[in-house]
Amino acid sequence: MIEDPDLLAGTEALYASLGVRPLINAGGAYTILGGSILSPTVRSAMDAANHRFIDMKELLESSGRIIAEMLDAEAAYVTAGAAASLALSVAACLTLDQPDYLERLPHTDGIPNEVLVQANSRQKYDHVLTVPGAHIVEVGDAKGLTAEQLRDALGPQTAAVHYFAQSKSPGTPSIETVVEVAHAAGKPVIVDAAGLTYPIDNLRRFHRAGADLVCYAGKYFDAPQSTGLIVGRKDLVELVAINGFVGFETSGTLTIGRPMKVDRQEIAGAVVALREWLAMDHEARFARYGERIDSILAAVRGVPGLTAKRISAIEEPPPTVRDGVRLEFASEIHAAEAETALLEGEPGIFVRRNGSAFNLSVAFMNDGEAEVVARRLREILSMPE
């Protein structure tokens, strides 16, 4: 978090010169806010990488080996974010051992091109699976997905099985069950675990359970927001690389991943951020969050028509929120009015509203900003109607 007043003043001046207003982030690790705040160590690594050129193919291979070693995996690959991880994972499963397919994507007629997705755990990021040309096939029903239903849905047109690891839908099978059924039919499993980076065992448990390709977003372990990881089976990760932007430039094949470019600074930042995340004293991190939460709870205590409680991202998704405060308003109108007042005030404060409530994340607040949020909430909520 920014502690140097001169650095913070420079930030204000920079954004003013670009014609935008800085916001206090009380929403969490959201793409539309810029994703994450980089540590001084990560920033230093990215700055160092900026001063020399390297062979990008070599850097992606070596960084992948380092990350794989950190996560006890066969292989890993840095991507342009979790969405790119999903798209490239599907591309790898569509092309497999068929080099003639590489240049055909996203045109997949005559190629096994179906990705099975649990019907009652659909979410908007599933759309990314179609980028390389896959067709989504829903499996299961409103009650969930059974092993029998998955087994019956697997067929010659199946390219992969998708598993949304953050699903809270009823009847969601374990990753072990999905892997067992899919592998019995010779089909790979792609896991969307974008935000599941804490507890840190989440970074290992899906590939340890046998998932073939596991996708993460860098912003959830404080890496540059335009980075992500694919962790998993070595042969498929190698296919990911061929389908990616370096493969386009070096393999002699016009592969689909050319737009999903990552620069050398971002790759360095992702490796350093992951190393820091794995070694971090997360209890100390939660203690800092607790101090910020307490100040906000104290400010809104006793406000008529408002219920406030502490929340934990471990207990209540989404992980974008991390730890924070949940505010329940008397009506959706009141919540919307408070959201607007916070955003349009000075300073502007971004919150994530859901109906008559919003969750205030404290994870990405700079020093002193929790107190500012608390004061602004008190001012807004104490206004006469």
Digit-coded pLDDT (tens) for 196-248: 999 999 999 999 999 999 999 999 999 999 999 999 999 999 999 999 999 99
Say how far residue 40 (Cα) sits from the centre of its chain: 21
Pick from 264, 241, 239, 223: which is nearest to 61 by CA? Answer: 241
- The answer to whether domain 40-279 has CATH 3.30.450.20 is no
Please report, rounded to a whole number, the percentage of residues in the chain having pLDDT higher than 90. Answer: 88
What pLDDT, on a 0 to 100 scale, did the predictor assign at position 3?
A: 58
pLDDT at 171 over 80: yes
Neighbour count for residue 268 (Cβ, 10 Å) = 23
Which CA distances in Å does 312 have to 287, 319, 325, 361, 364? 12, 9, 9, 10, 15
pLDDT at 10 over 60: yes
Say how far residue 107 (Cα) sits from the centre of its chain: 28
Of the options 3.40.630.30, 3.40.50.720, 3.40.1210.10, 3.90.1150.180, the CATH number for the domain spanning 5-34+281-381:
3.90.1150.180
What pLDDT, on a 0 to 100 scale, did the predictor assign at position 274?
A: 98
In the chain, domain spans: 5-34+281-381, 40-279
What pLDDT, on a 0 to 100 scale, did the predictor assign at position 20?
A: 95
**Which pLDDT band holds residue 320 (cuts at 50, 70, 90)?**
low
Strand ranges for the chain from DSSP E: 23-25, 75-79, 114-118, 135-139, 158-164, 189-192, 213-217, 228-232, 306-311, 324-329, 348-350, 352-354, 357-361
What pLDDT, on a 0 to 100 scale, did the predictor assign at position 383?
A: 57
What pLDDT, on a 0 to 100 scale, did the predictor assign at position 240?
A: 98
Residues forming beta bridges with residue 214, ordered by sequence position: 191, 231
pLDDT in tens, 75-92: 999 999 999 999 999 999
What pLDDT, on a 0 to 100 scale, did the predictor assign at position 8?
A: 74
Distance CA 73, CA 67 (A): 8
Distance CA 280, CA 385 (A): 46
Instruction: Look over the chain and give the mean of its residue pLDDT values, rounded to a whole number.
Output: 93
Taking residues 30-50, what's their average pLDDT?
Answer: 95
Taking residues 253-268, what's their average pLDDT?
Answer: 97
pLDDT in tens, 263-275: 999 999 999 999 9
pLDDT at 317 over 80: no
Distance CA 311, CA 309 (A): 6
